[in-house]
Amino acid sequence: MGNIYDGAFRTILNDCRQMIIPVINEIFKEDYTGNEIIEFHPNEHFIDQQDAADKERITDTNFIIYGKKKKKYHLECESSLPDGRMTIRLFEYDAQIALDEGEVINEILTVTFPNTAVLYLRNYKKTPDKMRYVIKTPGGTVEYDVPIMKVQEYTLEDIFSKGLLLLIPFYIFSHEKNFKVYNSNEQRLADLKEEYRNILERLDKLEQEGIIGAFDKRTIIELSGDVIREIAQKYENVQKGIGGMMSGALLETEARTILNRGKDEAKKETALRMLQDGELSIDKIAKYSGLDVAEIEQLVGLRTV
């Protein structure tokens, strides 16, 4: 798949890691609350090859979620046509992940394969609903499914109602087949822009409600812009219309962050002046300055150092 899509997927997982929880719940029918600890592991693995140099394989992501039980997961993001090679690569990754963390006690090797899934950004007639491993061993046959999440099957309502915000940067794939129409039809492009305006408004609301942070929102917007510029590079009007909207929203977010930072500094200066006067209690200074009591106490500590 394109490095842009690959990089966007890894970035949002690593920088906004709690967004993976709703996706895992959706794919594997788990019931994680979102308060679990997520531990990411290195993506680079070396596949042993007989009579040849070891081959480096880079997985999109593999991690452990510490819930009621410790569970290992491996996710891959794919945009190309299914041709069987992806299943082979997945198994190579899984086997190497299991071997890297295997244990040998009294000459007994124990390996744990991860819970693996694939996010397909594009749907083709050949895209299956699942993959399957069938491993025949001298001790018996082991087989299990590898679920597939088809990103294009999720509407905006699905994404927001299920908290699948990780999918937003890739939502544009659901419109890819209509790029030619959007590029030549102003009304259709306006409809698409309205859809993305709705996305930005809903992200703003989630930030105001404290469900996501400013950094999370900024990351979603930035990566959405990156993906749009890559996927629509042959369609100038789509690039300017939707890509420009994401760039504008990103600049607005950055400006708001700077403004809020300035407001915070002004509040701290006001609180410091009140502390210097020494006439008001910490509770009243917090009330009048708009800061928390803990922030005022921190300022007291800085003044006494």
Predicted confidence (pLDDT) per residue in 178-223, tens digit: 999 999 999 999 999 999 999 999 999 999 999 998 889 989 998 9
What would the two tokens of residue 69 be? 């039980």
Name the residue among 18, 62, 66 with its Cα closest to residue 42: 62
**Does pLDDT of 72 surpass 80?**
yes
Query: What residue ranges in the chain does DSSP mark as E strands?
Result: 37-40, 44-47, 55-58, 61-66, 70-78, 103-105, 108-110, 115-120, 130-137, 140-150
Give the HSE-up count for residue 162: Cα atoms under 13 Å, Cβ half-sphere.
20
What pLDDT was estimated at residue 45?
Answer: 45
The 10 Å CB-count burial string (b at 16+, else e) for 234-249 is ebeebbebbbebbbeb
Report pLDDT digits (tens) over 241-258: 888 888 777 666 555 555
At residue 271 the predicted structure's pLDDT band, cuts being 50, 70 and 90, is confident
Report pLDDT digits (tens) over 15-67: 888 899 999 999 999 999 988 999 887 655 444 544 444 455 555 688 999 99
Which carries the bigger pLDDT value, residue 116 or residue 3? Answer: 116
What pLDDT was estimated at residue 54?
Answer: 47
**Does pLDDT of 304 surpass 70?**
no
The 10 Å CB-count burial string (b at 16+, else e) for 204-226 is bebbeeeebeeebbbbbbbbbbb
**Does pLDDT of 143 surpass 60?**
yes
The 10 Å CB-count burial string (b at 16+, else e) for 91-107 is bebbbbbbeeeeeeeee
Lowest mean pLDDT, pick from 6-10, 23-27, 155-159? 6-10
Whole-model pTM? 0.76
Percent of the chain with pLDDT over 90: 50
| AA letter at 219 | T
**Does pLDDT of 290 surpass 90?**
no
What pLDDT was estimated at residue 46?
Answer: 46
Query: What residue ranges in 156-216 does DSSP mark as E strands?
Result: none
* Average pLDDT in the chain: 85
Lowest mean pLDDT, pick from 60-64, 220-224, 258-262, 293-297? 258-262
Torsion of CA 85, 44, 41, 107, to 10 degrees: 90
**Does pLDDT of 305 surpass 50?**
no
- The owner of tokens 């920088």 is 15
Lowest mean pLDDT, pick from 57-71, 147-161, 172-186? 57-71
What pLDDT was estimated at residue 171?
Answer: 95
Torsion of CA 188, 126, 25, 220, to 10 degrees: -40
